Structure 1
Amino acid sequence: MVYELKTKEDDSSVIEFIEAVESPKKREDAYRLLDIFTETTGYQAKMWGPSIIGFGKYHYKYATGHEGDAPLVGFSPRKAKISLYFATGDDKREELLKQFGKHTTGKACVYINKIADIDGEVLKALITQSVTFLKETYPDCE
């Protein structure tokens, strides 16, 4: 059986997705994040699946043979919290997160309630660190 990735890049409108976010504050934060991620990465935002706004792209292949494409970084203004997607596996990420502000972490995500809770400069550093790490790990990034 071939594993089918659910989260693929598509041509849905990022702006339409953000406009559909119910909470006005979360929608405002999503637009601010859109600006920060676009400015910091230099990539245009693309929708990945129904709810992730991603920037750039890389192809990964694990030792198990599982492979696929993923955004270099991204975010999703979810109902409960805002999910931020950065590369895992780099110790620099953990150091930066100590200075980030109020957040929680999952396996691959960093969760925040609102932008006001975090340090914007550390956010930019996390984005840059993640893109750099992935470009070094997967040299054929787009």
Structure 2
Amino acid sequence: MYELKTKATPKTAESYLNMIEDESLRKDCFAIAAMMEKATGEPAIMWGTAIIGCGNYHYKYASGHEGDMCLVGFAPRKANIALYLKLGSFESDQLLAQLGKFKMAKSCLYIKKLADVNLDVLYSLITRSVVLMKEQYPR
């Protein structure tokens, strides 16, 4: 049986983020973690070895595959910060138009640094994503 690699761990996000050598990236990541904690009311924890996430939901596919994942999360990478958000509504599209400099792929929003984006808009996208995920995966 398939075992998920990306699972909630007891490791704190703080310990992981403190290991980021680039000071600017580290500060940005702490700020994003704080936004996600505020939006979910949950602490930022490690999911797997490189994803920082807040909250959780349980999913089950028609194939029978099921598991748990964070409501919102992000991963600091060398080239960018990947934010894992649920987007794709008219409201999200309007917010993205105001965000600033970013790239997208499916449910990933990529930014280089927080200075490139409007922080209020980013926080709105995060809170909107939390609402959409809770609607799709009610407890």
Name the TM-score, length of structure 2 as normaliser. 0.92
Q: Aligned partners of 1:93, 1:73: CA distance in 2, in Å? A: 15
Q: 1:40, CA displacement in angstroms?
A: 2.4
Equivalences for residues 15-94 of structure 1 within 5 A: 15-88=14-87, 90-94=89-93
Question: What is aligned with 2:136?
Answer: 137
For the Cα contact (< 8 Å) 1:41–1:127, is it kept in 2? no
Structure 2 vs 1, CA of residues 92 and 4 (structure 1 numbering), >3 Å: closer, same or farther? farther
Root-mean-square deviation (CA, aligned residues, Å) is 1.5
Asked whether the equivalents of residues 90 and 133 of structure 1 are also in contact (C-alpha less than 8 Å), the reply is: no
User: Distance between the aligned counterparts of 2:3 and 2:92, measured in 1?
Assistant: 29
Structure 1 runs, 4 residues or longer, greater than 6 Å off: none
- In structure 1, the gaps of 5 or more residues are none
Structure-1 residue corresponding to 2:110:
111
1:13 is displaced (CA, Å) by: 2.3
TM-score, normalisation: structure 1: 0.90
- Extract unaligned runs of 5+ from structure 2: none
Residue 3 of structure 1, CA deviation:
2.1
* 3-state SS of 1:83 partner: strand
